[in-house]
Amino acid sequence: MIKGFIGTSLVDYPGRISSVVFTYGCNFRCPFCYNIDLVLPERYKKLKNLPESWVIEEIKRRKGFIKGVVITGGEPTLWGKKLIRFVEEIRIETGLPVKLDTNGSQPELVKSLVEDRLIDFWAVDFKTSPARYFELEGDFRLVEETFKVLKEVADQVEIRITLYPPLLTEEDLEEMVPYLSWFKRIALQKFVPEHTLKQEALGPVNPSFYHKVAEFLRERLPEVSLIKRF
């Protein structure tokens, strides 16, 4: 399940120093994805598996210093019950809060994790308008179900939007606004045009695009906190 581990990160869990666990495999193919080593089977097969027990011990060793654990990927929720058991173990063994990053494609698993209060903070991607999720090989109906589940714990959720202009036209953003209004916190993150899944000629995005998107969302969602994540 695990192919990567960072002992100490200052940027992955808002407000907390954390350890970060990387699971492998993903059911989406976002053109802007830069985690291709964890997404493409021909790449992740070459990476060493890290035993869960080893990762837990590494987290325990840092317990006095780190204040949380982040599980990211790839797409961690694809690991189903194995992920649930791993989160339970982190909580029992370390007592640390856990943040989970997800693309929102496994609503049933998210529901179980919410009901069992196993996750303290959620970061959920919102990649484009619902009608364009097929371009990422995703199914927005599942993401919508996840949003509905997480709406009930909106205080613990950050919705992340990657500033990738081809998937964020004004029409796309307009279609995303009704869902964004369910939440309290939106993070706008930079698109990094290096080693991405779709090797295309899209260079660095002009910083004015951030201002354009931020202004658009501020006008329509004045109650929501907008965070610049870069």
**What does the binding site for ligand SF4 look like in residue numbers (CB under 6 A)?**
26, 28-30, 33, 35, 39, 73-75, 103
In the complex, the smallest distance separating the C-beta of residue 22 from ligand SF4, rounded to whole angstroms, is 10
Asked if 104 and 110 count as a contact pair (C-beta separation under 8 A), the reply is: yes
C-alpha pair distances (Å), 92 with each of 86, 89, 105, 110, 214: 10, 5, 27, 20, 40
In the complex, the smallest distance separating the C-beta of residue 94 from ligand SF4, rounded to whole angstroms, is 25
What the block records as the tokens of 112 is: 């179980």
User: Residue 126 or 183: which CB sits closer to ligand SF4?
Assistant: 126
In the complex, the smallest distance separating the C-beta of residue 60 from ligand SF4, rounded to whole angstroms, is 27
Contacts of 172 (CB under 8 A, 6+ apart): 128, 129, 132
Nearest residue by C-beta to ligand SF4?
A: 33
**CA-based Rg of the chain, rounded to a whole angstrom?**
17
In the complex, the smallest distance separating the C-beta of residue 227 from ligand SF4, rounded to whole angstroms, is 18
In the complex, the smallest distance separating the C-beta of residue 84 from ligand SF4, rounded to whole angstroms, is 20
In the complex, the smallest distance separating the C-beta of residue 2 from ligand SF4, rounded to whole angstroms, is 15
User: Residue 18 or 35: which CB sits closer to ligand SF4?
Assistant: 35
What burial letters (b/e) apply to 101-119, b meaning 16+ CB within 10 Å? bbbbbbbebbbbbbeeebb
Crossing angle of the two packed helices 207-220 and 170-180, in degrees rounded to 10: 50
User: Residue 75 or 158: which CB sits closer to ligand SF4?
Assistant: 75
Crossing angle of the two packed helices 107-115 and 80-94, in degrees rounded to 10: 30
Closest CA to 128 of 136, 119, 118: 136
User: Residue 1 or 30: which CB sits closer to ligand SF4?
Assistant: 30
User: Residue 28 or 183: which CB sits closer to ligand SF4?
Assistant: 28
User: Residue 18 or 189: which CB sits closer to ligand SF4?
Assistant: 189
